[in-house]
Amino acid sequence: MNGKKESMFVMSDGRNVMFTFALVSSLFLLWGFCNGMIDVMDKHFQEELELTLAQSAWVQFAHYLGYFLMAMPAGWLAVKLGYKGGIIAGLLMVAMGGFWFIEATSIAEFWAFLLGVCVIAAGLTFLETVANPYTTVLGPPRYAATRINLAQSCNGIGWILGPIAGGRFFYGTDASGVSTGAETLWIPYAGVGVVVLVLAIVLFFAPVPDIRTEDDYDTGKRGATEDVSATADRKVARMPAYLLLWFNTIVLVGVCGMILWLILDTLELGDHVVGIASRIPHPAGLSITADNSLLVVLTAVGIVVSLTLALILIPVVVRMSHHSIWSHPHFSGATLAQFFYVAAQAGIFSFIINYMVWEVPPLPAWLHQNTVASATESKHEDATAPRKGQDSLIEVRTRVDKADIQDLPSLVDRLQQKSDPVSAFVSSQLSEDTIQALAQHDTAASDYAVRFNLARDLDDIVARDTRSAKKKKPTLYDPERFAGVPLQAETKELLAQDPKGVDRCRLNRMLLADTYPGNLPFQDGILCFSNQAASFLATLGFICFLTGRFIGAVLLRKVSAHRVVGLYAMLNVLFCLLIVLKLGWLSVVCVFLSYFFMSIMFPTIFALGIFGLGERAKGASAFIVMAIMGGAMLPKVMGAVADRYDMSRSFIVPLACFVLIMLYGYGWPLLSKANSLHGLKSPEGTSTAPREEDSQLSGQQA
- Average pLDDT estimate for 652-678: 89
Helix (H, G, I), strand (E, B) or coil at 82: helix
C-alpha–C-alpha distance, residues 420 and 485, integer Å: 9
The reported pLDDT for the residue numbered 335 is 93
Which of these, 356, 430, 456, lies nearest to 397 by C-alpha position? Answer: 356
The reported pLDDT for the residue numbered 652 is 96
CATH architecture of residue range(s) 18-220+323-357+531-698? Up-down Bundle (1.20)
**Which contacts of 79-82 are long-range, i.e. CB under 8 A and separated by 24 or more positions?**
79/618, 79/619, 79/701, 79/702, 80/701, 81/701, 82/210, 82/701
Quickly state the pLDDT bin for 176 (edges 50, 70, 90). Answer: low
Quickly state the pLDDT bin for 468 (edges 50, 70, 90). Answer: low
Neighbours of 79 (CB within 10 A): 16
The reported pLDDT for the residue numbered 521 is 92
Quickly state the pLDDT bin for 171 (edges 50, 70, 90). Answer: confident
Strand partners for 687: 681
Which position has the higher pLDDT, 366 or 219? 366
Domain boundaries, the chain: 18-220+323-357+531-698, 397-523
The reported pLDDT for the residue numbered 214 is 57
pTM for this structure?
0.76
Which residues lie below 8 Å from residue 114, measured CB to CB, with a gap of 6+? 58, 59, 61, 62
**In the predicted structure, residue 373 carries a pLDDT above the cut 50:** no
SS (H, E, C) 163-188: HHHHHHHHCCECCCCCECHHHHCHHH
Q: How is residue 142 annotated by DSSP?
A: G
Most confidently modeled of 65-69, 300-304, 412-416? 300-304
**In the predicted structure, residue 47 carries a pLDDT above the cut 90:** no
The reported pLDDT for the residue numbered 164 is 81
**In the predicted structure, residue 231 carries a pLDDT above the cut 50:** no
CA distances from 640 to 52, 262, 345, 561, 579 (A): 9, 16, 17, 34, 17
Q: Tell me the DSSP string of 389-439.
A: GGG-SEEE-----GGG--SHHHHHHHHHHT-SHHHHHHHHT--HHHHHHHH
Which residues lie below 8 Å from residue 697, measured CB to CB, with a gap of 6+? 15, 209, 210, 211
C-alpha–C-alpha distance, residues 374 and 389, integer Å: 8
C-alpha–C-alpha distance, residues 113 and 97, integer Å: 10
HSE at residue 180, side-chain half, CA atoms within 13 A, is 12
Least confident residue range of 33-42, 208-217, 278-287: 208-217
Rounded to a whole number of angstroms, the CA Rg of the chain reads: 28
Contact 147, 25 (CB under 8 A): no
Least confident residue range of 324-338, 428-442, 532-546: 428-442
Least confident residue range of 375-379, 401-405, 673-677: 375-379
Q: Position 645: which residue type?
A: Y
Mean of pLDDT over the chain: 80
Q: What percent of the chain is predicted at pLDDT more than 90?
A: 22
Which position has the higher pLDDT, 401 or 369? 401
Q: What percent of the chain is predicted at pLDDT more than 70?
A: 84
Quickly state the pLDDT bin for 216 (edges 50, 70, 90). Answer: low
The reported pLDDT for the residue numbered 139 is 77
Contact 330, 665 (CB under 8 A): no
Most confidently modeled of 211-225, 439-453, 509-523? 509-523
The reported pLDDT for the residue numbered 702 is 25
Contact 468, 182 (CB under 8 A): yes
**In the predicted structure, residue 661 carries a pLDDT above the cut 90:** yes
- What is the per-residue pLDDT across 154-170, written as a single tens digit (0 to 9) for each? 877 887 888 888 777 87
C-alpha–C-alpha distance, residues 309 and 631, integer Å: 24
**In the predicted structure, residue 324 carries a pLDDT above the cut 90:** no
**In the predicted structure, residue 30 carries a pLDDT above the cut 90:** no
The reported pLDDT for the residue numbered 649 is 94
Q: Tell me the DSSP string of 266-329.
A: HTT-GGGGHHHHHHS---TTPPP-TTTHHHHHHHHHHHHHHHHHHHHHHHHHHT--TTSGGG-H
Quickly state the pLDDT bin for 687 (edges 50, 70, 90). Answer: very low
- What is the per-residue pLDDT across 232-286, written as a single tens digit (0 to 9) for each? 445 777 888 899 999 999 988 988 888 888 778 777 788 888 889 888 888 776 7
Which of these, 476, 465, 467, 460, lies nearest to 512 by C-alpha position? Answer: 476
**In the predicted structure, residue 16 carries a pLDDT above the cut 50:** yes
By DSSP bridging, strand 687-688 and strand 697-698 are unpaired
Least confident residue range of 61-70, 513-522, 555-564, 588-597: 61-70
Contact 562, 676 (CB under 8 A): yes
By DSSP bridging, strand 674-676 and strand 527-529 are unpaired
The reported pLDDT for the residue numbered 313 is 92
The reported pLDDT for the residue numbered 230 is 42
- Average pLDDT estimate for 621-642: 83
Helix (H, G, I), strand (E, B) or coil at 237: coil
Quickly state the pLDDT bin for 219 (edges 50, 70, 90). Answer: low
Which of these, 319, 269, 258, 322, lies nearest to 54 by C-alpha position? Answer: 258
